[in-house]
Chain A
């Protein structure tokens, strides 16, 4: 097991490692800054009156927030991977899942390459294995080694 010595924790190494996980957007300060208004917008949907306003006219409701056009398009399309890229965080975005009345797991499944029934079946079978999805760098190194072998 890797152990941590907080006295020797280099912030740049720490942040670089956060970007080394396949298919994962860790909610770092950089993402939190870009996504501030996406997340605050999503937060506003905790209020029943706001949910009704949003449902009546999504575009008009979002126009009241200082969101970028990209962010608005991603939200309108419910393209959650794109929302993550633009600074959204899943706990905030989940207010939109519940506004839409869809289960959390169904919304999560849209970020994978599976349809919900298939995703649910994967979970029933014990979930996604960490094998092969631990590190982008390790995967690249393995792929390069395989290429050399040929």
Chain B
């Protein structure tokens, strides 16, 4: 049986991809950001997930205004890095897991989530930046990826409650997949940022940290935050945080935090990152790993 063993939340600022690709990831500006992911990179090496369900939004790369799916799942064999106007990032192709993805798509539709199915697309920084943050610069990505794209560009995006419920349905879908797979789910985007208008540059550390706190434990109050509160408190692009709730919903009633990182700024954005375990008697290692021991191996 496949099972979800961890949830990871992370910002996906495009500039982090540039920093990684051009070797600036340890300079004065980016160093403190990437340092907050060192623990996770070592932990991921030990965890060796088979598949990551990567919840992200496309930024006018694969989807233009012609078609705007609210929830779309990638069922393809592989995905190339999109040309976002600078030429494509020089990162490995992303290998899909069509068997699991199609199984999820069927299960989700039967569960009344009417998914859009994508067989061919390019993936942009929303998907490739989190891979770089968690895995560094390998020749090939160490796991397969099921892309799950959420519309957070054209209003209204799905409600936080709907995102959480989709996460719950994803958990059910994964657990009914017969193959033994170690599956992680990542929620990406956020945290507070506004990229447009005279109010651009808005950051709300207090609210962001309240949101991070809310992901831990057995509370589900985050699912009831209305869109307008994200917009007022965290900027127009802070709405991306609803995607973290898909991840949180997939971890069951209770979670334990293994790692947390918050930093301002990265370009226009507050960086937030968290690693969570589902904590509902799954018998997973809750200690977190000793990073120095892993590094010494």
- A positions within 8 Å CB-CB of B: 1-6, 9, 14, 17-18, 21-29, 32, 36, 39-40, 42-43, 45-48, 51, 80-81, 84, 89-92, 94-99, 103-105, 108-109, 111-113, 119, 122-124, 126-130, 133-135
- Give the complex CA separation of A137 and B198 in angstroms: 17
Given A32-B154, A89-B153, CB of A24 within 8 Å of CB of B194: yes
Contacts of A2 in B (CB 8 A): 225-226, 228-229
B199 and A23 contact, CB distance less than 8 A: yes
Say if the beta carbon of B26 comes within 8 Å of chain A. Answer: no
Residue of B nearest to A97 (CB): B85
Per-residue interface assignment for chain B, residues 54 to 71, with 1 indicating a CB less than 8 Å from any chain A CB and 0 otherwise:
000001110011100000
Q: Which of A18, A122, A128 has the most CB of B within 10 A?
A: A128
B59 and A94 contact, CB distance less than 8 A: yes
Given A6-B161, A105-B267, A133-B202, CB of A29 within 8 Å of CB of B86: no
Minimum Cβ distance to chain A for residue B68 (Å): 8
6 extra interchain contacts, Cβ-Cβ under 8 A, other than A111-B196, A127-B202?
Answer: A2-B229, A25-B196, A46-B83, A92-B64, A95-B60, A104-B268
The 3 tightest CB contacts between A and B, nearest first, are: A127-B203, A98-B85, A23-B199
CB < 8 Å neighbour of A128 from B59, B203, B232 = B203
B196 and A24 contact, CB distance less than 8 A: yes
- Give the complex CA separation of A130 and B200 in angstroms: 11
- List B residues 259-291 near A (Cβ within 8 Å): 264-265, 267-268, 270
Minimum Cβ distance to chain B for residue A48 (Å): 7
Contacts of A42 in B (CB 8 A): 60
Provide the main secondary structure of the chain B interface.
loop
Contacts of B159 in A (CB 8 A): 4, 6, 9
Given A6-B161, A123-B268, A128-B199, CB of A95 within 8 Å of CB of B154: no
Say if the beta carbon of B231 comes within 8 Å of chain A. Answer: yes
Contacts of B156 in A (CB 8 A): 14
CB < 8 Å neighbour of A127 from B61, B233, B264 = B264
Contacts of A46 in B (CB 8 A): 61, 82-85
CB < 8 Å neighbour of A45 from B85, B197, B203, B233 = B85
Say if the beta carbon of B192 comes within 8 Å of chain A. Answer: yes
- Give the complex CA separation of A95 and B225 in angstroms: 32
Contacts of A134 in B (CB 8 A): 232-233
A105 and B268 contact, CB distance less than 8 A: yes
Say if the beta carbon of B205 comes within 8 Å of chain A. Answer: yes
Given A24-B236, A46-B85, A104-B15, CB of A123 within 8 Å of CB of B267: yes
Contacts of B231 in A (CB 8 A): 18, 21, 24, 26
